[in-house]
Amino acid sequence: MPANTGYGGGVYRRHITLAGEPEAVEAELEDDFHRFGLRLVHDGTRVVRLDARAARYPWTTCPESTRALRIVEGTALSPRCTDLARHTDPKAQCTHLFDLAGLAVAHAARRGRWLRYRVSVPDRERQHTVARLEASDPDVPDLTFELEAARITGPAPFVGQSVVGGHFLRFCRERLDPAWLEPAFVLWRACAISWGRAFDVGGAPGADRFASMAAGNCFSFQPGVVERAKRQADTVLDFTDRPEALLPGKP
């Protein structure tokens, strides 16, 4: 993938909002490369209906994943945002919509009202950066990761964990207090996605150019889909100096 010659001195930002209603959750996610949303309707015990929407996305096939996500209808509510992976293969879904659905399911299980996550990951300098997550709810802990390349160097108990690969999720499920699992999950994903700023991700006409390194990793890179996934033009934005532009109109 060609390098982004403008990388350095900027900031990757990702905001997520979760708005709880008596029997529904409205959820939205936006960062440099994506904007997705969904409405989850539940009966207090299970997901009754899930309607997802794609507003800004990298590949022409991404909106098709909104239909694939309906497979989670009927699943039990759980306060752990990672439990949704027990019901379907996350790699067959849009990564970001699936994450958002897991967060919405957990928010519904907790009977949560309003929550906004704000994540910032400055461009790496000599492989080093400090990623931060802030939560609007005082009962949800803020979190910071110090990073050298993909390795977390602080704080404990995350030292030595990698933000690349699935081992981090196993670590979270097995070792973390439940209160820390969701913030860690949100920050982990953002740290991995932030690397996209280092590359000219809009320079390839089709997803098949990256099939050798990303095959099967998400909906648009599944066999039968990746071959027809074409690049959407002008979908990469920079929120370095304008975090207020993420999910505008939300508190």
DSSP state string for 143-176: EEEEEETTEEEESTTSTT-BSSSTHHHHHHHHHS
What is the predicted pLDDT for the residue at 207? 83
On the 0-12 / 13-18 / 19+ scale of CB atoms within 10 A, 210 is middle
Pairwise CA distance, residues 191 & 196, whole Å: 10
The DSSP output letter for 5 is: T
What is the predicted pLDDT for the residue at 43? 98
Closest CA to 179 of 140, 131, 134, 137: 140
What is the predicted pLDDT for the residue at 5? 85
Query: pLDDT of 90-139, one tens digit each?
Result: 999 999 999 999 999 999 999 999 999 999 999 999 999 999 999 999 99
Q: With beta carbons less than 8 A apart as the criterion, state whether 114 and 96 touch.
A: no
What is the predicted pLDDT for the residue at 18? 98
Maximum CA extent, the chain: 50
What is the predicted pLDDT for the residue at 60? 96
What is the predicted pLDDT for the residue at 168? 93
Could you give the 3-state DSSP secondary structure of residue 101? helix
Q: With beta carbons less than 8 A apart as the criterion, state whether 32 and 239 touch.
A: yes
Tens of pLDDT, residue by residue, the chain (251 residues): 678 888 999 999 999 999 999 999 999 999 999 999 999 999 999 999 999 999 999 999 999 999 999 999 999 999 999 999 988 999 999 999 999 999 999 999 999 999 999 999 999 999 999 999 999 999 999 999 999 999 999 999 999 999 988 899 889 988 888 889 999 999 999 999 999 999 887 777 888 877 666 667 899 999 999 999 999 989 999 999 999 999 998 77
DSSP conformation letters of 182-242: HHHHHHHHHHHHHGGGGB-TTS-SBGGGGHHHHTTSSGGGSTTTGGG-BBPTT-----TT-
The answer for 224, left when phi > 0, alpha when psi is -120 to 50, beta otherwise, is left
Could you give the 3-state DSSP secondary structure of residue 23? coil
